[in-house]
A and B are shown apart, each in its own frame.
Chain A
Amino acid sequence: MTTYLLRRLFTSILVLFGISVLVFSIIHLVPGDVVTAILGREKVSAQQEAQLRQQLGLNDPIPVQYWRYLDRALHGDLGESIRNYVPVSQAIAEQLPSTIELAFAALLLALALGFALGLTAALNHGNWVDTLAMSLSVSGLSIPTFWLGLLLILLFSVSLKWLPSISTGPGLAGLVLPALTLGLPETSVVARMVRASMLDVLGREYITAARAKGVSQAMVVLKHALRNALIPVVTFVGLQLASLLGGSTIVETIFARQGIGRLAVQSISNRDYPMVQGVVLVVAVIYVLINTLTDVTYTLLNPKIRLQ
């Protein structure tokens, strides 16, 4: 097991190194001259152009530039925005909590609704309730997040006037619609997993034995089946949380909500390359770390792997 864990950590370090190379390369892969691309039609003096080139560190050889980028990044310095001159790490630190809050809220919602839907479908296996629940699930998987968000605004903000369509400032009301938008497609995935897992567990011999002993249906489900059906879903939670960070891009844009997803889109539109690099790097690193942590936890918890 130790060999497996060490190998897993080594792979993650290699991937993190690759991510740093790829993110660093963004600025160098821009077709033509990156400074011309940034300035566009802006009229600037040759001196200002040279200053921007200096700020981006483009005058040094590429290996030197990469080494400096990596060294600074490891010390938490991701450069400075070329639009508003704010340190990139400071901008991300300001926006990240809002994205994490949204991702957690969406995940909680997906788990609660997904469990209810999946459990109902499994307990009504083969009848119309199951068909209806699974049809809802396929629809949830097919609905584009950006359309779902707009439909929710149409219903809850424009028609019913219950919830705000813009998610600014603290408070739960502004979080409900964005969390629903991000969470509902995930609900479908959770529902499908819970249903499949429950159907598998409910067919096992120990469930039949428990029933034969006269244990009530509620006890069978709650005490015996649900606990075992939870294992694959728990593994999935870690992976989804990381994925939701990426998915927040669209939701934050629709609801004009603070967050790194919206920051990424704005930076791309503004051609603010240091900011784009910073956001992409931070999200990818978080994603890899969560994935590694999930794998390691799973290995430590799963006796089958632990004994190997």
Chain B
Amino acid sequence: MSAVPAKIQPRYDAPGVRVLRRTFRNRSAQVGFAILALLVLACACAPLLTRADPLAIDPSNTLQPPGRAAPLGTDGIGRDVLARFLYGGRLSLWVGLVAIAIGGLTGTSLGMLAGYFGGWLDAFLSWVTDILLAFPDILLALAIIAILGAGIVNAMIAVGISFIPAFMRLTRSSVLAIRETSYVEAARALGASDLEVIFNHILPNVLRTLLVLVTLGIGSAILAGAALNFLGLGAQPPTPEWGAMLNAGQKYIRDGWWLTVFPGLGIFLTILSINLIGDALSDAVAGTVVTSEKK
């Protein structure tokens, strides 16, 4: 009998809280959070950490290895690598965030429409998704860059568009399941309009499913953005960006290892930390679903 009061307590927002609590308790996620926080803070506080100008050229000070004057060394035209690393990190992180916002918002909206309304709209949108998914790896982003031309904004758009299919598919399948639940039917019976049902009842539930995809997606988007920049199709010189810095450093690989190691380390640590958090989040979501189903 003692379990009864606990059962009748409303638990509407409990799963979300439970997911976060489980994620924060995971050791790998803690390491991930720590690395990511450190990187984001360092990039955000770039002017406090270095006084060097990331664009200032110094021909008398080229290819200096890491030392007291330049903690991460200087590049082929004497620019401070630490300053370029910190300011470049800002842009790399932005590319990921903006791209995932573009892909996430568009894909989720299309997935909602396809899943909720079904019929020919669903068939058409699913067909378009299948077509977009037929371009392996970064080929779709490359095709979009071919249309829009090289540039950092176009790289964000290209990476964003290439994420639409993943969001659209996941949202659609979630909506298909939620659409048939009794609380959605009840809302409809009470006279709620399609928009009210979508925004008040379906969207909050879809978002939980999307949480893992958004987290891991940010990592993949940063990686794809850096790849386009590395190929010279995104940020153009002299703009600092981790991928573009690796591209420029490739020329000096025999004389300046630091130009290859540090920008790559920035990308690697960012992706690693996001993957660690994403994995823990995925386990936490799965755990919560299992627990909820058991109850």
Mark A residues whose CB is within 8 Å of B. 11, 14-15, 18-19, 22-23, 26, 29-31, 37, 138-139, 141-147, 150-151, 153-154, 158, 165, 242-243, 245-247, 249-250, 253-254, 264-265, 267-269, 273, 276, 280, 283-284, 287-288, 291
Contacts and interface: CB of A to CB of B under 8 A. Distances in A.
Interface in B210-232: 219, 223, 226-227, 230-232
B276 interface: yes
Interface stretch (B9-17, B46-54, B57-65, B138-146): B138-146
Contacts of B137: 243, 246-247, 249
9 tightest Cβ-Cβ pairs between the two chains A and B: A246-B136, A246-B137, A147-B264, A18-B131, A142-B272, A142-B271, A246-B139, A276-B146, A247-B137
B231 A142 contact: no
Given A29-B147, A30-B147, A144 B233 contact: no
B260 A15 contact: no
A31 B147 CA distance: 8
Contacts of B264: 144, 146-147, 150-151
Interface residues of B, number: 44
A262 to B, nearest CB: 10
Given A138-B275, A153-B253, A26 B136 contact: no
A276 B135 CA distance: 13
Interface in B243-283: 243, 246, 249-250, 253-254, 257, 260-261, 264-265, 267-268, 271-272, 275-276, 279
Given A30-B147, A153-B253, A139 B233 contact: no
A291 B130 CA distance: 12
A15 B134 contact: yes
24 contacts: A15-B127, A18-B134, A26-B143, A29-B147, A30-B148, A138-B275, A139-B272, A146-B226, A146-B264, A147-B260, A147-B267, A150-B246, A150-B250, A150-B253, A154-B257, A158-B253, A158-B257, A243-B136, A246-B137, A247-B136, A249-B231, A254-B250, A265-B142, A291-B134
A265 B261 CA distance: 24
B142 A245 contact: no
Contact of B231 (A18, A23, A147, A253): A253
Nearest to A147: B264
B176 interface: no
Contacts of A247: 136-138
A246 to B, nearest CB: 3
Contact of B130 (A18, A30, A246): A18
A54 B76 CA distance: 45
> Is the contact region of chain A dominated by helix, strand, or loop, or is it mixed?
helix
Nearest to B273: A142
B150 interface: yes
Contacts, number: 137
A283 B271 CA distance: 27
A37 B135 contact: no
Nearest to A254: B250
A250 to B, nearest CB: 6
Given A18-B131, A147-B268, A249 B142 contact: yes
B149 interface: yes
Interface string B98-128: 0000000000000000000000000000011
Nearest to A165: B253
Contacts of B136: 242-243, 245-247, 283-284, 287
A142 B272 CA distance: 5
Q: Which of B128, B230, B275 has the most CB of A within 10 A?
A: B230
B227 A144 contact: yes
B246 A146 contact: yes
A261 B41 CA distance: 36
A287 B275 contact: no
Given A146-B227, A245-B136, 13 more contacts: A18-B131, A23-B143, A37-B149, A144-B227, A144-B271, A147-B246, A154-B253, A247-B137, A247-B138, A264-B142, A267-B146, A280-B142, A280-B143
B128 to A, nearest CB: 7
A147 B262 CA distance: 10
Given A247-B137, A284-B139, A141 B223 contact: no
A102 B250 CA distance: 21
Nearest to A291: B134
